[in-house]
Amino acid sequence: MAAKQVVCALLWVLALVASIIEHAGGAVSDFVKTDGTSFVVNGEPFYANGFNAYWLMLKASKTSEMDKVSTVFHQASSYGMTVVRTWAFNDGGYRPLQSSPGVYDEDIFKGLDFVISEAKKYGIRLILSLVDNFKSLGGKRQYVEWAIQQGENLTSYDEFYTNFRVKTFYKNHVKTILLRNNTKTGVVYKDDPTIMAWELINEGRCKSDLSGRTMQAWIEEMAPFVKAIDGEHLLEVGLEGFYGGLDHDQEAIQHDSFASSRNVGTDFISNNQVHAIDFATIHLYPSWIPQADDKTQLKFVTDWIHSHSKVADEVLRKPLMVTEFGKISRFAGCNGVDKVAFYRTAYNVLYKLIRAKSACAGGLFWQLLLPGMENLSDSYEIILSECSYIANIISQHSRLISSIINPSLRRLTVTDQ
């Protein structure tokens, strides 16, 4: 009997490994699509389980550091992760992809080519963001400054959303990225299913117009522009999940007072209702409520995801992805009890919503680094070899998601969190 149990256990483990490889590290040959409030690949359910690594293109463009990209994808695949979100921009400044409007550094571009080819090799899907709201890698500020240098009389960086010349700069960048012929794979970006989705802007905000109309108009212009070039890939805005001043059913958001009170000129409902937007996104950081104790912050984690999933289900009728979530621990290192509790709670909520077939279809933590990358530390990072408790939570989450895709593996997983 003991020998039989051992054999069965080994078979179960092999089946689990095969399933994880199939769903998280196999060949990427079909585009991710939406079906109602779900993601699907070739008709089968797909769940986003992964991380952010904005730095991939910059590391890949240096021969001495390319191996970091390969290592992080290999590591992610071994943990069952399926999606990585990264930047397809670096505007002006140090080692830019785009040094001035329409002028690109081919070596940096080849770095992005390598990122996509390595992602494909390891069965990882990519979400590529096209510009930043913030200035660290140029972003909308750099676009406005370029326009000023060309004679535009601009007084606000929010004119990124309204000035014709600036919008033309952005559209040209979008077109350049989408029509790029990958020097590693020979596949034009718009034709590559390794890319899961495009993101219009990382955490776009327009505080000069809290009515939300400026941001809404920009999305209504740019989303169809992207789709006119690329009708295959999914498209999302890059929102954090806040509600603004646009008119919509207040009953839909009355349960989410924090999201309603933090107006940054975006609107989770109206922005995501644009026809060309395929799925909704939110970000999640307990640092938004810094005075709250740990218990209150964990409740916020649960409420934030649940409330937006409900709106995505009942109002938007589109999938939802938590494209950033993370926490800075009060304790040294990444194994602090508060940070571990945050990750356990976030993944528990994600798993239960996925199992319930809600609109919430997964999440990506911020951010994954490797040992020796301390210069990119922002205190949110996870280094899997050093963050053992969180690494185990991520690994368990991957197994649980795999068991949803393949129910025969259900008893292989640990007891529900």
Do 387 and 365 touch, CB atoms closer than 8 A? no
Tell me, what amino acid is at 193?
Answer: P
- 324 is a catalytic site residue: yes
Do 12 and 177 touch, CB atoms closer than 8 A? no
CA–CA gap between residue 67 and residue 65 (Å, rounded): 5
Which of 159, 199, 324, 381 is catalytic? The answer is 324
Tell me, what amino acid is at 211?
Answer: S
* Dihedral (CA of 335, 341, 345, 351) sign: positive
CA–CA gap between residue 398 and residue 355 (Å, rounded): 13
Do 90 and 57 touch, CB atoms closer than 8 A? yes
Instruction: Report, in angstroms and rounded to the nearest whole number, the Rg of the chain calculated over CA atoms.
Output: 21
* Dihedral (CA of 366, 127, 302, 415) sign: negative
Which of 199, 203, 236, 240 is catalytic? The answer is 203
CA–CA gap between residue 185 and residue 76 (Å, rounded): 21
Is the backbone of residue 187 left (phi > 0), alpha (psi -120 to 50) or beta?
beta
Give the sheet arrangement for strand 38-41, strand by strand. Answer: 32-35, 38-41, 44-46
Strands 103-104 and 98-100, how do they pair? Answer: antiparallel
CA–CA gap between residue 411 and residue 415 (Å, rounded): 9
Is the backbone of residue 27 left (phi > 0), alpha (psi -120 to 50) or beta?
beta
- 220 is a catalytic site residue: no
Q: What is the token pair recorded at 228? A: 């006119």
Q: Which residues pair with 34 in a beta bridge?
A: 39
Tell me, what amino acid is at 87?
Answer: W
Tell me the C-alpha to C-alpha distance, in Å, between residue 382 and each of 84, 98, 371.
Answer: 14, 29, 10
Q: Which residues are catalytic?
A: 203, 324
